[in-house]
Amino acid sequence: MDLSLSVRPGRGCTVLEVHGELDMATSPQLREGLQRLVEAGDRQIVVDLAGVRFMDSSALGALVLMFKALREVGGRLSLASAQPAVRTVLTITSVDRVIQAYENVPAAEADISRTDDETGR
């Protein structure tokens, strides 16, 4: 299964839209896409998982790795719109306790805007 990534500006963040299956074959593509955003200076990134039907442990590893990389530079990685099967994987592995997961992208954007207002960014 192919993976497609597209980037768009969000409200106070950059949104990375992911479509396809996140597995051992495609997880490097996700990590590289996120790494490019970090290297370009993006610090608030929301990964829109609405188009992801399957996620394995290699994808979880890529997300956690990039979460840590962003945190080290004062940024934040958030997840949004996880489908039920993906949400289950995030919950069972407790990744949703480490990386904030939102019902949808507007909810993530609202929280980022609220946090930025509180910190004066």
Q: Which amino acid is at 15?
A: V
pLDDT at 113: 85
In 3-state terms, what secondary structure has residue 26?
coil
Contact 87, 101 (CB under 8 A): yes
Q: List pLDDT tens digits, range 97-110.
A: 999 999 999 999 99
Q: Which residues contact 66 (CB under 8 A, 6 or more apart)?
A: 31, 34, 35, 38, 77
Cα-Cα-Cα-Cα dihedral sign, residues 77, 81, 83, 87: positive
Query: Can you tell me the distance from the alpha carbon of 116 to that of 113, in angstroms, rounded to the nearest whole number?
Result: 5
Q: Which amino acid is at 1?
A: M
pLDDT at 84: 97
Q: What number of CA atoms fall less than 13 Å from residue 60's CA on the CB side?
A: 17
What pTM does this model have? 0.93
Q: List pLDDT tens digits, range 25-83.
A: 999 999 999 999 999 999 999 999 999 999 999 999 999 999 999 999 999 999 999 99
